[in-house]
């Protein structure tokens, strides 16, 4: 809450990545956009990747991405931290390192300017941890507060990751637990205490740099990667499966879920984005009939600043998960890639 006594979450209709445009509507818009071909553009938006990559001609790629959204928490500094962590995640999902960021801030007149400063300070703290320079930005007046970053990073092209590289036989690794959308929805409804929400905020402010750093140290490297954000684990799994020409089998019991997320889901505290995700992606997912509804809801839950979904060799995946768990991250092997079947994702 800022000095005016106004709660940030009172000013928004949707929170965090749950505010994304419905995936079906977005796909229709993108399909009609003109393409400007270039041999230098190595990754664009054709396969729903997390960022674009431009060939610098020296063995490196320039990664460019942007992400911003309305607040899912009331503390301005914490909101800034979450939004910045989320924006930087796209660079890590491409196998790169963030280098430069520009602030994007929409701010209502009903909030004190001190709150704007706290949002920017939260973003700056995260960028500092990531070794990313904040070099400026842009701000406008808006009836809803929104914040994020435009980020530039770099990647060695031999280590460039995309969501289309999963191979038959790969294991699937998820590096963070699910449940941020459900828990922040419950907190907004004042049905979740501070300790319950802290599980989500601690995760949302954890950078996704560890999986790449540890993979390099172990001498292993994923074949494909994406970060799990507003389109949910199911949505981003569909995108990876379809871009790779495989089917992903997901063991629902192995998926890490945040404490109390299933409890809140069972009470019906589901963000609207989860229903949009289910409407669009469910026809491409075969879900076991015996799967509990609350768990299914979490699998379609829009994640804010979620973890990475990685596809890599089975033994490499086990070594990477062990290293991530040793660092205190709730990583797990949650499934595997199999030959392409009728559905993009099969959940059992």
Query: For the chain, what is the largest distance between any 2 Cα atoms, rounded to a whole number of angstroms?
Result: 57
Q: Pull the structure tokens for residue 346.
A: 């099969």
| 248 close to 240: Cβ distance less than 8 angstroms | yes
Bridge partner residues of 102 (DSSP):
150
| 227 close to 93: Cβ distance less than 8 angstroms | yes
Query: Is the Cα dihedral 195, 210, 315, 311 positive or negative?
Result: positive
Q: Is 260 left (phi over 0), alpha (psi -120 to 50) or beta?
A: left
Name residue, tokens 């406008």.
140
Picking from 109, 174, 117, 175, the residue whose alpha carbon sits closest to that of residue 147 is: 117
| 240 close to 312: Cβ distance less than 8 angstroms | no
Task: Verify whether residue 17 is a known catalytic residue.
Answer: yes
Phi, psi of 136, deg, nearest 5: 145, -150
Dist. CA 182–CA 297, nearest whole Å: 9
Dist. CA 153–CA 39, nearest whole Å: 19
**Rg for the chain, CA atoms, rounded:** 19
Name residue, tokens 């459900």.
182
Dist. CA 311–CA 168, nearest whole Å: 10
What are the residue numbers of the active site? 17
């Amino acid at each position: 809450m800022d000095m005016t006594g106004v709660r940030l979450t009172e000013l928004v209709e949707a929170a965090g990545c749950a505010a994304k445009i419905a995936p079906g509507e977005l796909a229709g818009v993108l399909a009609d956009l003109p393409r400007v071909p270039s041999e230098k553009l190595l990754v664009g938006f054709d396969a729903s990747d997390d960022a674009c990559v431009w060939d610098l001609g020296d063995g490196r790629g320039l990664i460019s991405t942007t992400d911003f959204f309305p607040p899912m928490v009331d503390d301005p500094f914490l909101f800034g931290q979450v939004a910045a962590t989320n924006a930087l995640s796209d660079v890590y999902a491409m196998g790169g390192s963030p280098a430069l960021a520009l602030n994007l801030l929409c701010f209502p007149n009903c909030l004190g300017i001190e709150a704007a400063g706290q949002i920017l300070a939260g973003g700056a703290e995260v960028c500092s941890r990531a070794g990313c320079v904040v070099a400026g930005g842009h701000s406008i007046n808006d009836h809803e507060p929104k914040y994020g970053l435009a980020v530039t990073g770099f990647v060695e092209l031999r280590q460039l990751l995309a969501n289309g590289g999963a191979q038959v036989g790969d294991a699937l690794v998820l590096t963070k637990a699910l449940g941020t959308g459900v828990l922040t929805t419950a907190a907004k409804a004042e049905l979740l205490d501070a300790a319950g929400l802290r599980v989500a905020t601690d995760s949302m402010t954890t950078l996704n740099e560890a999986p790449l750093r540890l993979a390099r140290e172990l001498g292993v490297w994923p074949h494909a990667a994406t970060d799990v954000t507003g389109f949910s684990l199911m949505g981003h799994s569909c995108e990876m499966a379809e871009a790779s020409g495989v089917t992903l089998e997901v063991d629902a019991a192995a998926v890490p879920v945040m404490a109390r997320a299933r409890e809140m889901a069972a009470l019906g505290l589901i963000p609207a984005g989860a229903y949009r995700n289910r409407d669009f992606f469910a026809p491409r997912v075969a879900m076991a009939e015996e799967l509990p509804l609350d768990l299914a809801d979490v699998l379609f839950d829009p994640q804010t600043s979620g973890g990475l979904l990685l596809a890599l060799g089975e033994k490499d995946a086990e070594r990477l998960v062990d290293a991530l768990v040793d660092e205190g991250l709730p990583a797990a092997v949650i499934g595997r890639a199999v030959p392409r079947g009728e559905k993009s994702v099969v959940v059992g």
